[in-house]
Amino acid sequence: MFFIFCMSNASSARLKVWWQNFTEQLQPNYWPSHIPQLNKITQLHHNQSEVTTSKPKPREQETIKVILSSTTKGNLHLNDTSTINPKIPTTSITYHVAFAKNYHFILDEPDMCQQRKPFLVLMVPVAPHNLAARDAIRSTWGNESVVHGKVVSVFFLLGLSGGADSEKMQEKVRLESQQHHDLLQSTFSDTYFNLTIKTMVIMDWLATRCSQASYAMKIDSDMFLNLDNLVAMLLKPGIPKENYITGMVMTNRPVVRNKNSKWYVSEEMYPESTYPTYLLGMGYVFSNDLPGKLVNVSKDVKPFNIEDAYVGACLKRLGIAPSWAPNPSQFRAYVGANYRIEDFASAITTILGSSQQLVNIWKGLKAHNSKTSTASTKHV
């Protein structure tokens, strides 16, 4: 078994005991249709470890354990506060790992959308330990609750923290949730290689807890977002209300086969040489009918670890093509060191280098807008 080659003897023995206990909990006829064979999971883990180091990191080992244990009850010793404990049907699931309903929420805000009735919901995937990013967003673009007369809500999606201090981190996250009521946490290990799971869990939450919103956006925690420009774009007469997704469109992108790259994908995981058209994962906006469709079709789309390209593969299966934004230049990648504040005044999204840079740019943009408004008033 793969783990014997990668773990110490003691770790291997513990894993054998854990695996025996796990399989005993499986109900009859559950195994064949829902869980990938162990060699499939360990091969995926082997591919991941080749990208980083010759031996799997503890968090990567924990990833496999959580992926497996999330399919049975009682293996995660956490308080389950989910209002929906997903029941996996005994047929029709082809691929287990990225199917969002195989996970459930231990921190949730199930009634928030019903109370606020948002026009736009911003979903931010972020690591549990990255409080600085969450606080920076809360003090900048995440603090804007009404834009152009439309309600906007922000939620942060977290997985489970690994490592020796995971219990302390979980308690900090729990207290943060009680204070801000904007955290959502699900039962998958929060690692880079689980970003596909994280994205699909976001889609599941939108479909089951916030279906009344008109639009939603998946946006990374290191992003600048100009909500004035985004909402103005969504309010344009020609913007579709269904089957719509836009952002930075990527076409004919080659699949990386270099095992030393963090973007490596094996031919077994994705056999095609190029990805279908997709939106760069840093920030894309979509009509809120899409999340449920994406979750459902993900049962039939083999998962791989490039999350934005995987969403593109799901869209292709649905027969839905990503749309170019009315002004594509508003969805930007990086800005240079010698940026101007005016660049952010015209943008919708831009990747930043740090949370502090977001705070600084936000202050500069507010000052710029104030001066522009004052100058306009004087000329009236």
pLDDT score for 375: 55
Res. 98: pLDDT tops 90? no
Res. 4: pLDDT tops 70? no
The DSSP H or E segment spanning 17 is helix 9-25
Q: Is the dihedral angle over the CA atoms 264, 268, 272, 276 positive or is it negative?
A: negative
pLDDT score for 243: 99
Res. 46: pLDDT tops 60? no
Selected residue with higher pLDDT from 23 and 194: 194
Tell me how many degrees the CA angle 144-147-240 measures, rounded to the nearest 5: 125
Q: 252: which 2 tokens?
A: 């004919």
CA distance 339 to 360: 12
Range from 96-105, 141-150, 310-319, 369-378 carrying the lowest mean pLDDT:
369-378
Q: For residue range 197-255, what is the model confidence (pLDDT) as tens digits?
A: 999 999 999 999 999 999 999 999 999 999 999 999 999 999 999 999 999 999 999 99
Q: 100: which 2 tokens?
A: 């969002």
The DSSP H or E segment spanning 113 is helix 112-116
Selected residue with higher pLDDT from 377 and 276: 276
Helix, strand, coil percentages (3-state) for the chain, rounded to 5, are 45, 15, 40
pLDDT score for 334: 77
Half-sphere exposure of 178 (CA within 13 A, CB side): 6
* Main-chain phi, psi angles of 85, to 5 degrees: -100, 95
Res. 295: pLDDT tops 70? yes
* Main-chain phi, psi angles of 190, to 5 degrees: -85, 85
Q: What is the DSSP letter of 110?
A: T
29-52 average pLDDT score: 31
pLDDT score for 127: 97
Res. 376: pLDDT tops 90? no
pLDDT score for 262: 92
Q: 305: which 2 tokens?
A: 């670890």
Categorize the per-residue pLDDT at 10 as very low, low, confident or very high, splitting at 50, 70 and 90.
Answer: low
CA distance 296 to 291: 9
Q: What percent of the chain has pLDDT over 70?
A: 72
CA distance 331 to 312: 17
CA distance 45 to 28: 27
Q: For residue range 338-369, what is the model confidence (pLDDT) as tens digits?
A: 788 988 999 999 999 899 999 999 999 999 88
Categorize the per-residue pLDDT at 372 as very low, low, confident or very high, splitting at 50, 70 and 90.
Answer: confident
pLDDT score for 208: 96
CA distance 236 to 278: 23
CA distance 27 to 88: 12
pLDDT score for 95: 53
Q: 67: which 2 tokens?
A: 């992926």
What is the number of H-type helices and E-type strands within the chain? 14, 14
pLDDT score for 371: 78
Residue tagged 């170019």 (tokens): 324
Q: Is the dihedral angle over the CA atoms 261, 265, 266, 271 positive or is it negative?
A: negative
Q: 350: which 2 tokens?
A: 């831009």
pLDDT score for 335: 76
pLDDT score for 77: 29
